[in-house]
Amino acid sequence: MSSGSVLPERIARLDELAHNLWWSWNPQARTLFRALDYPLWRLGGHNPVRQLREINAEKLAAAASDPDFLSLYDSVVSAFDARMSDRNSWFATHHPGSLQGPVAYFSMEFAIHNSLPIYAGGLGVLAGDQCKAACDLGLPFVGVGFMYPQGYFRQQISAEGWQEEVYTELDFDQAPIKPVNPVHRSIWCGPLIQLELGDRSVHVGVWQGQLGKITLNLMCCDLEENMPDDRQLCARLYTADQEQRLQQEIVLGIGGVRALRALGIEPAVWHANEGHSAFMVLERAREEVENGATFDEALSKVRANTVFTTHTPVPAGHDVFPIWLMEKYFYRYWESLGISREAFLELGQQHGPEDEDFNMTVLALKTADHRNAVSRLHGKVTRKMWHGLWPETGEYDVPISHITNGVHVPTWVAREMVGLYEKHLGDEMSQRFDEADLREEVLKIPNEELWTARSVLKRKLIGAMTERARQCSVQRECTASQVLAMGALLDPNALTIGFVRRFAAYKRPGLIFHDVERLRKIVTDTWRPVQIVFAGKSHPADHPSKQLLHDVYDLAAHGGFQGRLAFVEDYDMHIAHYLTQGVDVWLNTPRRLKEASGTSGMKAAVNGILNLSVRDGWWHEGYSGTNGWAIGDSVDTYDPEDEDRADAESLYRLLEEEIVPLYYRRDRAGVPHEWLQMVKESIGSIVPIFCARRMVKEYVERMYLPAGRQRS
């Protein structure tokens, strides 16, 4: 430990456990840290590194002599050691010796735990879940990303209903990471590598986080050796400044390769999660050219073991840089690749005319032999979208496949649900969520117990929301309508719908308000009330989406919905846990073909929440007819206004005629058996398929092993 009390010898490995994020998805390890000092645990945001720094010596001494604590400690340590040895893992038993090195996974963001705030949303959560499942399966894997001192941002809503962005500096001393080249009494990071950004040179340091045996290498430019502007280069995620974004992507792609080399890591497979990191292919090609290869030889070598996953079906969602900016940063680089300016620019152009911008997705598609989209439908949309890159093939044969996203069940499942699953399906549940017979087995869970668990989870959510409303009223002197909008009047017995997602126009947060009077009638029904909880951030530069957020908030605060609409501020992983466990229905209304996959509805399903969604993204393949509800039909040739009208009508009709009646149809003890039947159908049909274990196994067998074999 860098400071804090000295750990008693008997429990000395707590520090090692605290610095390995494996604890965050191991229920026993969580219990262990919680048991040390529960109030401190809560105050410190469930961060064991911080807890060990702040806990007093008496508490530690007491733990070290408490037999119950020690037996839990020993059990956690032995589970941890078993994970670290990995001899019986899925990968070791199914594919022994089949990869000559790790899979290097490059991602702009990673969402592992709130104590490491280096993510914005879905892409980061997917990356985090992928790393965790890779760890569970024993796959050799390293992550490459950024350590942003300010992360994304924290969201507050003003009394007038506008999003305010609050940036806070991370206290590195309390983060579960360690610097590779420590300076200043081992708490700060020194330079590891250097790279050229246009005419100047920047130093990059690396922080490392651990997930079991997996290391996340997080690059950082905030070093004394750098000029002030460069120190700020990687301060925040997704800055709106295009030039800064290009610089970040150079650091991620080119710097990431150099950092792995400097660390002596020799990957067998290189995986670009989204186009942000596509420059990594160029850097590896440059190395080959430096060793005497021609550019064509170099490229064919590196593309063979490169995997690219695209996540965006919306053209505007792809990173595109103007030619002048590319020239400014790459005019020397294309020389070092041994190619002309035109040949270089063409790598990022679909058609190749002089003035076409440089597209990172095009670069990745052209330079990776293994390409995939993230749901079946998204695969289809993606093949159509990029058909121009393979003009001589038919649309069906465009070489982009799909691997549907999945969620890391141990991260997202509620303690109460684990209890039920283990009791009725067996202790080893967490190792076999991806087995198909789950469907039969779930039926064994008695409705009464399932209903109790569901009710507890809803109470917890509403308790957390009212607590926040109370804090807001005390600390920020919120107005009465703000307190109302924060959910102070929510009722734990009412049917609760969650609309929880990034605010973006294509997700249509306003769809449910298409006919405000009709909605008000549904919501404020005396005998069968409905409430709706909203949460989500707008990108700081996305003004139309901020307006949407404002409008929703305004209706919650002043719309005459009797406190049955609420908005939870600052949607992050922590709040996501409460929401994906605590509501009854998960609402998703994207405009068709705009949602690549979506994963939050999968988390909800794990916890017995029913999906109510447009058949887009994962729900296009997830909906079975009996495991939730589909809004509208799957026609994709709507005019936007017709689409809104038809979907709103379908949504109201489903609520009025199916969802509300089903939820309130109870036996004498108040248990809604038919509802719970559907819940079981949903768990059994969704969890085995839309979990990260299935996803990562598919990546291994369909992408990583073929790519790894290509290595010469």
Ligand X SMILES: *Cc1c(COP(=O)(O)O)cnc(C)c1O
Tell me which residues touch ligand X (CB under 6 A). 121-122, 125, 501, 571-573, 576, 598-600, 603
Measured CA to CA, the distance from residue 585 to residue 523 in angstroms comes to 14
Residue 4: CB atoms within 10 Å: 18
375 contacts 405 by C-beta, under 8 angstroms:
yes
- Residue nearer to ligand X on the CB measure, 48 or 598: 598
What percent of the residues of the chain are helix, what percent strand, and what percent coil, each to the nearest 5? 50, 15, 35
- Residue nearer to ligand X on the CB measure, 121 or 608: 121
579 contacts 559 by C-beta, under 8 angstroms:
no
CB of 579 to ligand X, least distance (A): 9
Measured CA to CA, the distance from residue 703 to residue 602 in angstroms comes to 23
CB of 222 to ligand X, least distance (A): 25
Which of 412, 419, 385, 391 is closest to 315 using CA atoms? 385
Give the position of tokens 């490169």: 306
Measured CA to CA, the distance from residue 344 to residue 366 in angstroms comes to 12
- Residue nearer to ligand X on the CB measure, 358 or 503: 503
CB of 607 to ligand X, least distance (A): 13
- Residue nearer to ligand X on the CB measure, 111 or 234: 111
535 contacts 485 by C-beta, under 8 angstroms:
no
Helix (H) or strand (E) holding 621: helix 619-622
Q: 657: Cβ–Cβ under 8 A, 6 or more apart, which residues?
A: none
- Residue nearer to ligand X on the CB measure, 127 or 337: 127
- Residue nearer to ligand X on the CB measure, 211 or 223: 211
C-alpha angle 459-462-463 in degrees, rounded to nearest 5: 80
CB of 364 to ligand X, least distance (A): 21
- Residue nearer to ligand X on the CB measure, 226 or 607: 607
Measured CA to CA, the distance from residue 288 to residue 266 in angstroms comes to 14
- Residue nearer to ligand X on the CB measure, 598 or 628: 598
- Residue nearer to ligand X on the CB measure, 51 or 411: 411
Which of 472, 484, 590 is closest to 531 using CA atoms? 484
- Residue nearer to ligand X on the CB measure, 203 or 460: 460
- Residue nearer to ligand X on the CB measure, 339 or 497: 497
- Residue nearer to ligand X on the CB measure, 203 or 603: 603
Task: Specify the pairing of strand 610-614 against strand 585-588.
Answer: parallel
- Residue nearer to ligand X on the CB measure, 222 or 572: 572
- Residue nearer to ligand X on the CB measure, 19 or 594: 594
CB of 587 to ligand X, least distance (A): 11
Measured CA to CA, the distance from residue 287 to residue 280 in angstroms comes to 11
* The two three-digit tokens of residue 75, written as one number: 């059990």
CB of 58 to ligand X, least distance (A): 37
Task: Specify the pairing of strand 182-183 against strand 188-189.
Answer: antiparallel
CB of 598 to ligand X, least distance (A): 4
CB of 378 to ligand X, least distance (A): 12
Query: Strand locations in 212-369, DSSP E?
Result: 214-220, 269-273, 306-309, 320-321, 358-359
Q: What 8-state DSSP symbol labels residue 609?
A: P
106 contacts 364 by C-beta, under 8 angstroms:
no
CB of 199 to ligand X, least distance (A): 38
CB of 170 to ligand X, least distance (A): 18
What is the identity of the amino acid at 202?
V
Query: Strand locations in 221-286, DSSP E?
Result: 269-273
* Burial letters 38-69, b for 16+ CB under 10 A, else e: eebbeebebbbbbbbbbbeeeebeebbeeeeb
* The two three-digit tokens of residue 642, written as one number: 């017709």
Q: Which residues pair with 608 in a beta bridge?
A: none
Query: Strand locations in 490-595, DSSP E?
Result: 495-500, 530-535, 565-568, 585-588
Query: Strand locations in 188-268, DSSP E?
Result: 188-189, 193-197, 200-211, 214-220
CB of 299 to ligand X, least distance (A): 33
CB of 453 to ligand X, least distance (A): 21
CB of 629 to ligand X, least distance (A): 17
CB of 121 to ligand X, least distance (A): 4
Measured CA to CA, the distance from residue 350 to residue 700 in angstroms comes to 29
CB of 120 to ligand X, least distance (A): 8
- Residue nearer to ligand X on the CB measure, 255 or 536: 536
- Residue nearer to ligand X on the CB measure, 598 or 622: 598
CB of 540 to ligand X, least distance (A): 16
Long-range contacts of 193-200 (CB under 8 A, 24+ apart): 193/255, 193/258, 193/259, 193/262, 195/250, 195/251, 195/254, 195/255, 195/258, 196/332, 196/333, 197/230, 197/247, 197/250, 197/251, 197/329, 198/328, 198/329, 200/227, 200/230
Collapsing DSSP to helix, strand or coil, 623 comes out as coil
- Residue nearer to ligand X on the CB measure, 90 or 503: 503
CB of 572 to ligand X, least distance (A): 5
- Residue nearer to ligand X on the CB measure, 203 or 620: 620
CB of 618 to ligand X, least distance (A): 8
Q: 74: Cβ–Cβ under 8 A, 6 or more apart, which residues?
A: none
